[in-house]
Chains A and B, each alone.
Chain A
Amino acid sequence: MKVTNIRKTFGGVTALDGVNMEIDKGKMTMLIGPNGSGKTTLINVVSGFYKPDEGQVLFEGRDITGKAPNEVSRQGLIRTFQVPAPFIKLSVMENLLLASEGNPGESFLRAPLRSRWIKKESEIYNRAGRVLELLNLRLPDQLAGELSGGQLKLLEVGRALMTNARMVALDEPASGLNPTLAHKIFEHLDEIKRDFALTLLIIEHRLDIALQYVDYVYAMANGSVISHGKGEEVMNDPKVIEGYLGGTCT
């Protein structure tokens, strides 16, 4: 994925100020930066939830700038939300089944004809079972609204895996979890990245936990990329240190 010169303002606030980024296929790229530095906004722009004022988003060579969120998702780029957004009255299994693409039973004309979709539905069911195993989230019948915070984070990841996504942008998938669980999530993500050949873009605050898993790091502050490179390089960049400690940086 390639992001060129993205600008996004809200009234007087400049949330993204000319962001450039290149995310390599099949790699886990981490996006860091203090609160309010524009990380979530960037994901919102990339996934079609916000239209940028300027700039271009290329995904697999195709221009997806300004496309509707459901179109972006169908092109193979899925995002998760910083605050988990499950379908609360659907079971875990239903949350996963729903996330799958191209189910003929989702069309109004074919939905009443069970024979037209049962085959695909069985395949999806099968896949959902594997995703649950992989994530060690063995609660297919639990209502998503009754899950714990950590389980919800896993469900978000699980839903992304049910799609035919080739890239997943995860907004703080391990925030609010204790270090053991956060490590577990990253281990899962690392495994998934390899098994599904996924490109991952992950927003994370806790560098100490995440650094060992990621291939590349982008650091943002005040709506701009201030540094990027391999984990250690970025960590030792004085601008990043200042950005994290001082909170302001130009």
Chain B
Amino acid sequence: MLDSTGLFVLNLLASLAPFLIVTVSLNLEYGYAGIPNFGKTLAVAGGAFVAGVIPGRFLAFLFGIGKNLSYIDDNKQIVSAINRQLVTDPVLSIGIIILTLIMAVLIGALLGLLIAYPVARLRTDYLGMTFLAFGQVILVIGNNFPPLVGGTLGVSVPDPFAFVSVYSIFDLLPGEMRNLFVITFMSIVALLVFLFARRLTRSPLGRVLRAIRDDENSALALGKDVQRNRIIIMIFSSAIAALAGALYAMYTANVFSTTYSRTTWTFWPWVMVILGGAANDLGIVSGTFIFVAVRQIISYYREFFEPILPFNIVWLDTLLLGLALLFILIYRPEGLIREKPIKTIKIESLSVEESKKASIKQTSGFREELKKIIETLLKLPKKKETEEI
């Protein structure tokens, strides 16, 4: 059995992983490209809905389950029957995980394309409101159109991770094995998404995005295709946000459209990004971690806080995080960790590695020029001594 520390860490990771994916996604849009996506929940819910709609129906069809039943009305019955078969088939289970994630990414990309349309046409303030509306629309549909994800009653998602529970390591209970596996898997996906986004932004492309954010007209005047870059970023970031939704739905093994509320999947990620520091990778990791950890500590030590609080404990995390946000916005609007210029080439390494790499097919003149540049750059006087022009 897991001890309380193990459980704490596991639960922490269970929220951290999906939220990190969403903050990475929001950071690409808002932090780097300056697109105020107040409809973050659209893509997250989109991904979750994919998990709620596709694998269950596909498996029911595959196993020939519930031919005379309604997938939505007899959902519990059908999904239990699916799970009993799925648990014995690791290969199919893994296939379903991969299929669900790929479908989620595709639907997410499509939703990104959809909301990229107004990006090309509206000014920032109207854009924010449009995004907000888009985020709301998908929840309204989810709530009021039962064939999608069961309306207000929700749907169960077949558990493609259940097969793990038949194995056991460290004397873990079957349920714990399953959770350990899912959460580890989510964390790995989150880490990969983070690293990929980091690579993407620590490149000339990241520079172009930040430039578009800082001054659109200047970027245009320098030949950058502003709209195209914004659209690409919306598509990519929506695709990864959908990944978070699908993972979370598979982890919780159900989809309730109310889970994907504006508060949880739009407002919270915004707080995390602003708290930590937009356009700074370490910043958004810190912001996400602090947010998730504060909430979890409060819920873990409920009994301790409850008697000493003059108000209902359910307000404590909102209050603390709201206060934190206020302080950040007033005293450190760039967030805990500021955005820093990105060095695509390290000056030191340029002389040794990069220049070697770079000059493989170059004439020797190039290397000499590089050396000269490095020397002059290294000899540059400090800020104050430089002539004021």
Contact = CB atoms under 8 A, between A and B. Distances in A.
Interface string B195-238: 01001100111111011011101111111111000001000100
Nearest to B212: A87
Interface on chain B toward A: helix, strand, loop, or mixed SS?
Answer: helix
Interface in A32-78: 47, 49, 68-71, 73-74, 78
Quick one: which of A79, A150, A184 has the most chain B CB within 10 A?
A79
Contacts of B204: 97-98, 103-106, 111, 117, 121
B345 interface: yes
A68 to B, nearest CB: 8
Contacts of A129: 373, 376-377
A138 B381 contact: yes
Given A90-B341, A150-B389, A163 B222 contact: yes
B388 A150 contact: yes
Contact of B221 (A69, A95, A122, A136): A69
B67 to A, nearest CB: 45
A99 B358 contact: no
Interface in A100-145: 101, 103-108, 111-112, 114-115, 117-119, 121-123, 125-126, 129-130, 133, 136-143
A79 B223 CA distance: 11
A78 to B, nearest CB: 7
Contacts of A184: 389
A11 B273 CA distance: 43
A122 B339 contact: no
A97 B362 CA distance: 20
A115 B362 CA distance: 15
Contacts of B226: 70
B380 interface: yes
A78 B210 contact: no
Interface of B: 196, 199-200, 203-208, 210-211, 213-215, 217-226, 232, 236, 279, 339, 341-342, 344-345, 350, 354-355, 357-358, 361-362, 366, 369-370, 373, 376-377, 380-381, 383, 386-389
